Amino acid sequence: MKRIIILLFTLALIGSFPAYAAAMADSAECACVINGATGEVVFAKNAQTRHAMASTTKIMTAILALENSDADDVVTVTADAANQEGSAAYIEAGDKIKMKDLLYGLMLNSGNDAAYAVAEYITGSVDNFAERMNIKAEKLGLHDTHFANPSGLDAPDHYTTALDLAKLARYAMSNDDFREIVAERVYTATLPESGGTLTFSNHNKLLKTYEGATGIKTGYTKATGRCLVSSAKRDGMEFIAVTLNDPNDWADHAEMLDASFAAHYPKKVVEKGMKMKTARVNGKPCNMIAAEDFVVPFKEKGANKIEVITHLSQNIPSPLNAGEKVGYAEITANGEEIGRVDIVSETDITDTNDMRLSDSFMERVKRVIQKILM
């Protein structure tokens, strides 16, 4: 792939966070909201204070399973897994269940039995899996997080912070399979050998009550209190909210998310049909364009360095059909990749052997950005 920087700028963002923001999440011990696109913190209350996390733990359990197994893998449930205390997916010892179905039981029913079955399948033991969880946490920069088990049952060395949990959730939501699971309200699994079925219902009632809700996970133990990680998307903007030990979490999350949407506006840093590169074939111009929009939530009194980098294939097929992928645009914020958009041909091109890419688009980009910054 060919790497070409086509866009580099810093924008002052429009709209201000509401004056009442500091008074939000009154009943929560710890709270945080982050911009789902850039990771920017838009609200925080004791966000870096270590606290137990209950079943929000299962966000890490699920993402490790998705990254280290296949959806159709068949898991045999052990007696140790089936006999776990607390919330359950109601799997039984000896049951065989596909990993995909097990993860719905994990995230919707919040099954501790499912968490242990996942851990045993991925690493052979719960202790080994907890070690893998901590390695992943360190790799993600979650330096105030430590896992002792895959379910979230209380343990002295099992803790996180609201900010770390928001970062973990943002990472997990970059996985399409994870995103699909946590957005599902009801799911029915069929056991491949017995033919029996299990129905899982999502405990996250915001999926029913909050406009644009997309996930993610509830949690509760008597010692920890109510914990909630939520996400919502409107007009292409997504925010992730976290509360730890919050008896009024449903209302607090609605308030925090409402404030976040009110304080931002959607800026298309890449727009569907936008010319990403111009080629010439037999002297005629042919455009390479963005296949879809990419939106970043912007606000006032903040600055993000947004960079769009094209990666174009060095072996473009011939002939080339309109809409056929020729590369992708990588979007970064402050040096971190936050998304990708396919680059496609705008028209049919019969002979790409005569294609010559033009640099003239660079000048057009500069003029566009100058207008934005004025």
Catalytic positions: 55, 58, 110
Q: Is 227 exposed, middle or buried (0-12, 13-18, 19+ CB in 10 A)?
A: buried
Please provide residue 201's backbone torsions phi and psi, each rounded to the nearest 5 degrees. Answer: -120, 130
Strand ranges inside the chain, DSSP E: 2-12, 30-35, 41-45, 74-76, 96-98, 186-190, 197-201, 213-221, 225-234, 237-244, 265-270, 275-281, 284-290, 294-298, 303-312, 325-333, 336-345, 355-358
**160 CB contacts (<8 Å, ≥6 apart)?**
50, 51, 53, 56, 142, 144, 145, 146, 168
What Cα–Cα distance (Å) separates residue 38 from each residue in 248, 299, 313, 336, 339?
A: 28, 12, 27, 8, 10
Q: Are 105 and 189 in contact (CB under 8 A)?
A: yes
Which one-letter DSSP state was computed for residue 88?
-
